[in-house]
Amino acid sequence: MKAYHVGKMGIAEGIALVFGLVIPHLFLSRLADVIQENGQLSWLTMSFYTVISLVVLFMMVYVIHSVPGDFVTVCQQLVGNLGAWLIVIVYICLFFANSSLLLRQYAEYTLITALPKVNFQLVIVWYALTTGIMCYLGIEALCRTGYILLPFMAGGLMLVCVMVSPFYVAYNLTPWQGNGIQVAVQSGIKGVGFNIGVLSLVFLSSAFQNGKTIKKIALYALGGSLVLRITFMLVYTMVFGVAIGSEKVMPFFELARLVYINQYIQRIEALFIVVWVFIGLLAIASSLYIGLYLITVLLKLPTMRPIVPLGVMAIAQFSMLPPDIGYTIYVDRLMLQVSQVGIYLFPGILFIMALVKKRRKKPCADS
């Protein structure tokens, strides 16, 4: 067993990993896109993301159980060497891109919200360095840190939702069909890339106890994140309405800025900046880790640690390529579309090939 094959992680760590990968977009502008596209039915779109990504994950669990070995070996067995390289490289690109784009967005939002006078490159370097250290410490350290943070993140989110209750306008949730059911369903199918992080459970399957654990993790993590997202979405819509809701770059931060309980409890968003920065760092580190892990298994390297600095430098450089935040958000939207390859095409091919392989095996076994 290689150094990066841990095999000791349980449900709690897995939930933290998936949460860390799928939740950070709540704090970013993707949510404003969802609300603009679907209006009051954004909750339905979110539900589609969850259901479809669960189905895809279960398919992939079937695939990795039908063929022994790590993810690269599974791909090689099912689609050949070239196919495996293609699939793994696409996933590496997707996770690296996610890591870079998250890094850029979090750096930009740190400048907008907390440290307006700090040099941009310094923020990027600081975040990259931190995520590098987290990656270096390994997946167990990452997931367990995430697990410690999870209650604070979920609790903080819920607390803000409760504290802005004086601004609720329940009628903002109507007309209940928003921009139309058809639009919401289509958007739900097209945007599943939102949850591509759940596939990390498949890539890191050897780090978890067994297939049952992975399925349980997926159910709990995606179910929990769906509850959080829907709650947040409903509160956000009640407070801002669809029109203003789709204007905001940082939905959660804007919500936290509205908290005004009395003279003494107000302007508390700084407390929550810490929460979203931690979650963001975990997400960047997790994405980076998965990208590096896939490189390691693809190249059959004995250990991952020496390539961590290279990965860190790569994402830091990529993150600085977009000229402005508008372009970064545009690329992020584009990546969401490209993610469909990773969420529909490859799992579909691998699942079909696994089924075919199993059927071919059966006659031999019978004879």
Query: Applying CB under 8 A, which residues contact another protein?
Result: 39-40, 112-113, 115-118, 167, 169, 171-172, 174-180, 240-244, 247, 254, 257-260, 262-263, 266-267
Give the nearer residue to another protein in terms of CB position, either 199 or 249.
Answer: 249
CB of 253 to another protein, least distance (A): 9
Cα separation, 46 vs 184, in Å, equals: 9
Nearer to another protein, 89 or 243 (CB): 243
Asked if 316 and 122 count as a contact pair (C-beta separation under 8 A), the reply is no
Shortest CB 167 distance to another protein, Å: 7
- Cβ 109 to another protein, closest distance in Å? 10
Residue 134 or 228 with smaller CB distance to another protein: 134
Q: Which amino acid is at 241?
A: G
Q: Is 9 helix (H, G, I), strand (E, B) or coil?
A: strand
Least CB distance to another protein at residue 262 (A)? 8
How does 119-156 read in b/e, with b if 16+ C-beta sit within 10 Å? eeeebbeebbebbbebbebbbeebbbbbbebbeebbeb
> Which is closer to another protein, CB of 174 or CB of 367?
174
Could you count the other beta carbons within 10 Å of the beta carbon of residue 26?
20
Closest to another protein by CB, 177 or 231: 177
**Smallest gap from residue 241 Cβ to another protein (A):** 6
Nearer to another protein, 44 or 350 (CB): 44
Tokens describing residue 92: 């590496």
Distances (CA, A) of 47 to 8, 228, 291, 310: 31, 11, 27, 37
Three-state SS at 18: helix
Q: Residue 331: beta bridge partners?
A: none
Q: Please state the closest distance from residue 134 (CB atom) to another protein, in A.
A: 13
